[in-house]
A and B are shown apart, each in its own frame.
Chain A
Amino acid sequence: MRRPPKDTADSARQVSRRALLLGVAQFGLVGALGFRMQSMQVEQADEFRLLAEENRINIRLLPPARGLIFDVNGVPLAVNEQNYRIVMVREDAGDVQEVLDRLTRLVAIPPETIERAIEEMNRRSPFVPVTIVDRVAWDDIAKVTVNAPALPGIIAEVGLSRHYPMGSDTAHVIGYVGPVSDYDLSRIDDQDPLLQIPRFQIGKTGVENKMERTLRGVAGSRRIEVNALGRVMRELDRQEGVSGADIQLTIDSRLQSYVEARLEGESAAAVVIDTFTGDLKAVASAPTFDPNLFVRGISVAAWNGLNEDIYRPLSAKSVQGTYPPGSTFKMVTALAALEAEVLTPDETIYCSGWTEVSGTRFHCWKGSGHGNINLHESLKQSCDCYYYEVAQRVGIDAISAMAQKLGIGVRHDVPMSAVAQGLAPDREWKRSVRGQDWRIGDTVNASIGQGDVLASPLQLAIMTARLATGRNIEPRLIHTIDGIEQPITGGESLGLNENYLRRLRQSMFDVSNHQRGTAYRSRITLDEARMAGKTGTSQVRRITPEERARGVTSNEDLPWERRDHALWVNFAPFEMPRYAVSVIVEHGGGGSAAAAPIGRDITLQALYDGPPPLEAYPADVRARIADQQVRIQNRVAAGGTANTRA
């Protein structure tokens, strides 16, 4: 078909016009694209660069090694043990099943563990290492390492896990660590990113818990480049963390083990405190438990066993338990009266076996009474009526003040869990807490450490140390942190009349050294080690007038939980006090029979820094003591878990 030349020209003109129009539109769009590029790549470049870096760079924390805990002699109490585990990387293994089959022929691994590992591997990216078994014996690791060429993708890894070499002996003092839980995170105000690491171990109880910040150290970090799937491409840089500081306790682990072994079989607690420094040489509570169980993850059965035991093995009775101090409180009442000058040491008070106060009869432990009795005899024989009278003279507020001065009813700064405050009651306390007026009967009860008075074994030991020295002894549990000795606090004079104190100490001496003393049978016969002490027997039930008329039921005839608590406090050597000791045997019966012998054994063990010579004991008990020493030594030698319940 021919087209007229005019048409051709028209067509060309029209196409050119429209082409230009379209060209302009295209140019506009290209301009818009260029503008967009400019705004993204030039103006917002920094923002996008930052986003790209965030994409690319991950920061992984490097957990620091936890600080170690030693006893005063450098014996390790809490260490980081190398813990071997077998890890598998799926993508390196090739045939996963085949490799695992070979592995199980080398190392005994339960099939369900293997199944769990396979499941986890399939759930995760192929390059993520998955732990197959934890806590593998060194022999097995050696086998795996030797056979490495046949086990592609299998890696033997070393980790650190907490171990307590003394096991149960130091469980209540040191406590244990465990994986950080949501509850921990909600409870503690701690921004440390380490806590965000899954299963990061933190101190749960005891020194591990109270000294957590010191022991934990500072996290290191590793900046790594990852790809879109999270695979680590390379490490960009690494900043090592700072290991936690080592802590040295004042505890003497040998003495601690001895005390735990000596308390075995009872529900009991004992504290040994240095009367010069306030150093706690042994803080024991029986029965106890193996803290290593908690680190590994305790089984439900074991947990229930510990929790349901009526002897409460998980409780650190030495600092958490509070008990009516019974007659061990009599020094407080006497000293309050002497200092208030309402009593002189030589004055006698008549004991008929009971005292009537505002219509209520308060009985002495000795029904027939002690007759006329002075301070010295009243302590030595532990007469109750004497103190009923003395307390009424001086009043409860002075007794309470003296108790607090001697460390009862005061929360001491000891880095252990749930340190109890105890109670030294006064009028104000009863008004504000009970909403009642103080009555004279309350004073009478308190005078012999019954009624509302509550003290922990730690407080009783401190009280004894302060009586022995007249100085404000403060307990110290941490000896050094990172090699730096921690200051000894307190130690200044309590401002008590030394004359009165000497009288009290002499009376306490006679408690265990005079034939008529309540603890004469638990005396120490070597002059260099003689001790001064006081027995205590505190009721946990009320004795009704009917029962008293019938004759008080003896402890042996009562169920365990209604028997009296047996208490004992002492310091030794008498001439130059070195240690103060407190012992409580829950529902142990009389203090002189159940608690004093334990106190004596502990004291001798502490003084001689090991088994004492048999000459320290009265001749009639030496044979039995020799047996006991052998038995306890065997127990200690057999390892710290001898005293473990469950």
Chain B
Amino acid sequence: MSYLEYNTRYVPTGFRKLLYLNWPIIILLAAISGAGFLMLYSVAGGSATPWMEPQMKRFAAGMAMMLVIAMVPIWFWRNMAALAYLISLALLLAVEFFGVTGMGAQRWIDLGFMRLQPSELMKIGLVMMLAAYYDWLPLKKVSHPFWVLVPLVFIALPTLLVLTQPDLGTSILLVAGGGAVMFLAGVHWAYFATVIVAGVGAVVAVFESRGTSWQLIKDYQFRRIDTFIDPSNDPLGAGYHITQAKIALGSGGWTGRGFMQGTQSRLNFLPEKHTDFIFTTLAEEFGFIGAFALLALYALIIVFCIASAMTNKDRFAALLTLGVAMTFFLYFAVNMSMVMGLAPVVGVPLPLVSYGGSAMLVLLIAFGLVQSAHVHKPR
């Protein structure tokens, strides 16, 4: 389906497009980011620096980019999909060679004005690529083994590069996000059953490889898994993070200890309190009500994305919207599971709330694509 097939009479033009934006999503994004600003202000001990102010600037820039992207017709972005994927892949390769090492992992490229994490970029690049691929692929061939192998390669290339950084969290997000798009595109369920069986096998293999010469993941990752299984066996080492996070979260109670009154974060018992573990501060200070409200905001975004996709007859647009929604869902679900002790600590930030430039920009760009899909819906 191309531009010519649209009933252009119903596609809004010029500034009328603003009226057709998916406003609920924009409001939800702003609300979540606002909660993030509050928390960054709180964990800095009641100060706009060093975290809240830069985060607000990035939010403003991200929102502007989102609106610009939303104005551009969705078919343009479909044509750009392959290019976006290739650029992201190239940057991932570049980070392998010229990247900046931080926190034991090679993740950034220093562009001078900002530090770019190509792995974040790849999250949209991959979703765009797969959506465009299934838009191009005739429906009948979707479950053909060869045409299933092709998207698997699209997923595998960046995942392997990210794994070598090493960044287990992003790898999981890429695989799960890509897999979700394949599932949505209608790939036969038997493939997924096979993958799940294989996945279990792989987990077993990873554990079997421990201590051997072909060890598949790093020792610190093993330790994180051990600690996840039983945080109390290493209360002052790796388990310290999880234990303190759970204490912060649990001590919030119904209504929390009050804004800026969270002792766990204020007294530095919380690790990474402005990034991966920021949710625990929120839960400590605003309690169950605050934490559940944030979860509800996230869930509402997913609901609006699904609703938008289901009313969109354009295959690329629908798959892209759902793919972005799935990636977004994976972000907050993995992060919350991690800080609540339901999943190992794999280093996934809380979307729009955790301090971090690349993640926020990339997410807002992704929602720009979602908006574009919504605005340029065939009507």
Contacts and interface: CB of A to CB of B under 8 A. Distances in A.
Interface of A: 1-3, 7-12, 14-16, 18-20, 22-23, 26-27, 29-30, 32-34, 36-38, 40-42, 44-45, 47-49, 51-53, 55-56, 225-229, 233
A55 B269 contact: yes
B116 interface: no
B186 A45 contact: no
Contacts of B267: 55-56, 225-228, 233
B183 interface: yes
- Which bracket fits the contact residues of B? 35 or more
A26 B336 CA distance: 14
Contact of B253 (A10, A18, A29, A42): A42
A8 B313 contact: yes
B309 interface: yes
A232 to B, nearest CB: 11
Interface of B: 1-2, 5, 136, 138-139, 180, 183-186, 244, 246-254, 263-264, 266-269, 283, 287-288, 291-292, 295, 298-299, 302-303, 306, 309-310, 312-313, 315, 318-319, 322, 326, 329, 333, 336-337, 340, 342
Contact of A22 (B248, B322, B333): B322
Nearest to A15: B318
Given A18-B186, A33-B337, A45-B254, A10 B295 contact: no
B269 A227 contact: yes
A72 to B, nearest CB: 55
B181 to A, nearest CB: 10
A42 B250 CA distance: 8
Contacts of B292: 34, 37-38
Contacts of A34: 292, 295
Contacts of A47: 250
Given A19-B322, A51-B251, A42 B342 contact: no
A51 to B, nearest CB: 5
Given A14-B186, A41-B283, A26 B302 contact: yes
A404 B254 CA distance: 76
A100 B214 CA distance: 54
15 contacts: A8-B1, A9-B313, A11-B139, A15-B310, A20-B310, A22-B326, A30-B298, A33-B342, A36-B342, A37-B283, A38-B292, A41-B252, A49-B250, A55-B244, A229-B268
Contacts of A16: 309-310
A645 B145 CA distance: 101
Contacts of A10: 139
A38 B252 CA distance: 11
A9 to B, nearest CB: 8
A11 B295 contact: no
B251 A52 contact: yes
Contacts of A37: 249, 283, 288, 291-292, 295, 340
Contacts of B263: 52-53, 55-56, 225
The 3 A-B residue pairs with the shortest CB-CB distance, nearest first, are A48-B250, A227-B267, A52-B251
A228 B268 CA distance: 5
Nearest to A16: B310
A110 B264 CA distance: 44
A51 B136 contact: no
A355 B110 CA distance: 115
B251 A49 contact: yes
Contacts of A20: 306, 310
Contacts of B309: 15-16, 19
Nearest to B299: A30
Nearest to A227: B267
Contacts of B329: 26, 29
Given A16-B310, A41-B252, A228-B267, 12 more contacts: A8-B315, A10-B139, A12-B315, A18-B184, A30-B295, A34-B295, A40-B246, A45-B254, A49-B250, A51-B250, A52-B247, A227-B266
B1 A45 contact: no
A14 B183 CA distance: 10
Contacts of A11: 139, 186, 315
A45 B283 CA distance: 11
A50 B246 CA distance: 12
A3 B138 CA distance: 8
